[in-house]
Structure 1
Amino acid sequence: MNLALNNNQNFSYFSPGVVIAYGSAIDTKPHQHSLWQLCIPSKTSTLNGEVLLTGKIIEPNEPHQLSMSEGWIILAEPESKLGNTMRELSIQILTKASPPLPVMIPTDNVSISALVTKLDHYIPLVESLKNNPYQCQSKHLLKLLARLDSCLNGNCLKPDQWRAKDVANWLAISESQFLHLVTKELGVSWRPYLLWRRLICAIQAIKTGVNLTEAAYLSGFSDSAHLCRTIKRTFGMTSKQLLSCFR
């Protein structure tokens, strides 16, 4: 998927476990990635050469080719609350237990709140989209999030001591309690959550002018090739294409 957010109406949100973007998506060739994908076109669009009459959920690692002149794209980590919700919704739509997803009409209000309003008939999906890890109640996780966020302010913490056991010891709780808290309150299990944080760290570093090799080191990848492979496997695009979506 190659999102080109270059018109007057564009929006992008990138957080651990989820990418939400409004703009255009034009795939030059079939590809696949490890995330659940929901696309809701605002204008005439095609998926695998067929016209999209409704929104569409694409399973992880399913080869696809999307041509969308304008609309919403949501990508979700499979091991997340949103990913599980999209999986369940795709089954419900297939069995007609849930109505098809809408084709969103163009709007001047390009925001998550506008998207949520359009999807208000899909309550579990809306609740998952509203999930905000910074509303969590655990003092342990709030302490952890504050430490992780220092990376986004330019003080990257190379994650060489971020094993669940080590973090749990630092927080003075058991490993099992830590893993349960993360899944319950952050909406995604620890290993994929940490990987997303590392990817965000790398992207933030590159956007400040750091080269790929240094960005990979700062975010805990073995080298730039490892970082590029992870981006390609996760998002189905090159690092350059990914960066162009969030400028």
Structure 2
Amino acid sequence: MRTPTENWRGRVQMGIGWGLFVGRAGDGAAHAHHAVQVLLSESAQAVWTRPTGWLRASGIVIGADVEHQLAPTTESVTVLYVEPHSTAGRHLGGSLRDGVQVLDRREVEAARQALGETPDAAAVAALVERIGGDDRTADHQPTGDALIAELIESLPAQLPDRLTTATLAQQARLSESRFLHRFRAHTGLPLRPYLRWRRLLVAMTGVMEGRALTQAAVDAGFADAAHFTRTFRRHFGIPPKTLLDLQPGR
């Protein structure tokens, strides 16, 4: 029988507004982070949250900034992190009671099926629909906007430190309020969280490609490695050096 490990072992994947880990979870102290977290497993895992204390569950949703701890696992688990201000994150957070929702076996299986083998933003939205209990997410899915899509495509990989709403709205030839409305409708995220997740994605990719932490951070538009580390830990509860033990998702 495998014994729990202090290191996280598995694969990691990230998109704008979400991150995914599949593998054996390592040791970690109780913490709270910015993302809504969904844990899925074949069998019950030991999880502690501030509202519930220790419990065993094969599926649980933990709200943003709710203190929690996952005991090291001896088998593979799926951990999904979702930006709380995204369409999916707002729906997940709105369905929680006291910041926590324990999933039953039917919900766990439905969620795992929704994610599939190659998760993407659509799979994350499908997961939220299946465990959220209603169809509010479907009614508020991001809608395509060619103008905003073209603007996003034009953004450099290394985002400037100060990329303002005014600058982007001017580039799109829209008022600031209209730009922000259309941007959120297209991406499902407000502008600031979107840019933050984009920086995280670029930096994470750099680290996993072998770049030094400082270089990966600067290449992504963070001020330095410390800025990247703080932001990464705030979203996921672990330091970015954990990525060195992980493989990129398919």
TM-score, scaled to structure 2:
0.75
> CA, structure 1 residues 117+208, in 2 after alignment: closer, same or farther (shift >3 Å)?
closer
User: Which one of the candidate residues 41, 61, 65 is aligned to 2:65?
Assistant: 61
Q: Is 1:80 equivalent to 2:81 in the alignment?
A: no
Offset, 1:3: 4.6
2:94 is paired with a residue whose SS is helix
Aligned residues: 230
Contact preservation (8 Å) 1:2, 1:27: yes
Take 1:126 and 1:243, find their aligned partners in 2: how far apart are those partners? 35
Check the 8 A contact 2:19/2:82 in 1, yes or no. Answer: yes
1:35 maps to amino acid: A
d(CA) in 2 for partners of 1:221, 1:114: 27
Q: Structure 1, residues 191-218: CA drift from partner, whole Å, max 9, x if none? A: 0110110111112223333322222222
Contact 2:20 2:80 in 1 (8 A): yes
Which residue, out of 130, 143, 164, partners 2:150? Answer: 143
- Give how far 1:176 is off: 0.9
**What displacement does 1:47 show?**
0.5
What residue in structure 2 maps to residue 189 of structure 1? Answer: 190
Distance in 2 separating the partners of 1:177 and 1:3 = 43
2:238 is paired with a residue whose SS is coil
Alpha-carbon separation, structure 2, partners of 1:234 and 1:21: 13
Point out where structure 2 has 5 or more consecutive residues left out of the alignment: 1-5
Check 1:26–1:139 CA distance in 2 against 1; reply closer, same or farther (3 A cut): same
Name 1:217's counterpart in structure 2: 218
Of Structure 1 and Structure 2, which has the larger fraction of its residues in strand?
A: 2
1:228 corresponds to: 229
Secondary structure in 2 matching 1:85? helix
Residues 51, 34 of structure 1: CA spacing in aligned structure 2 closer, same or farther, 3 A cutoff?
Answer: same
Deviation larger for 61-70 or 223-232: 61-70
TM-score, normalised with respect to structure 1: 0.76
Q: What whole-Å deviation, never above 9, does each CA across 1:202-238 have from its counterpart, x for those lacking one?
A: 1222333332222222222221111111111121111
Aligned twin of 1:31: 31
Partner Cα distance (1:114, 1:175) in 2 = 29
Tell me how far apart the structure 2 counterparts of residues 204 and 125 of structure 1 sit (CA, whole Å): 33
The letter for the 2-side match of 1:23 is G
Comparing 49-58 with 230-239, greater Cα deviation is found at 49-58
Unaligned stretches of 5+ residues in structure 1? 152-156
- Report deviation, 1:175: 1.1
Question: 1:86 Cα shift?
Answer: 0.7
Matched, 1:46 2:53: no
Letter in structure 1 aligned against 2:21: A
Q: How does 1:56-205 map to 2 (within 5 A)?
A: 56-67=60-71, 68=73, 69-91=75-97, 102-104=107-109, 110-112=117-119, 116=126, 120=130, 122-124=133-135, 127=138, 136-148=143-155, 151=157, 157-160=158-161, 162-205=163-206
Query: Closer, same or farther in 2 for the Cα pair 1:206/1:28, shift >3 Å?
Result: closer
Q: Retained in 2: the 8 A contact 1:168–1:178?
A: yes
Aligned-residue sequence identity (percent) comes to: 26
Q: Is the 8 A contact 2:40 2:77 kept in 1?
A: yes
Question: 1:162: Cα distance to partner?
Answer: 1.9
> What displacement does 1:76 show?
1.0
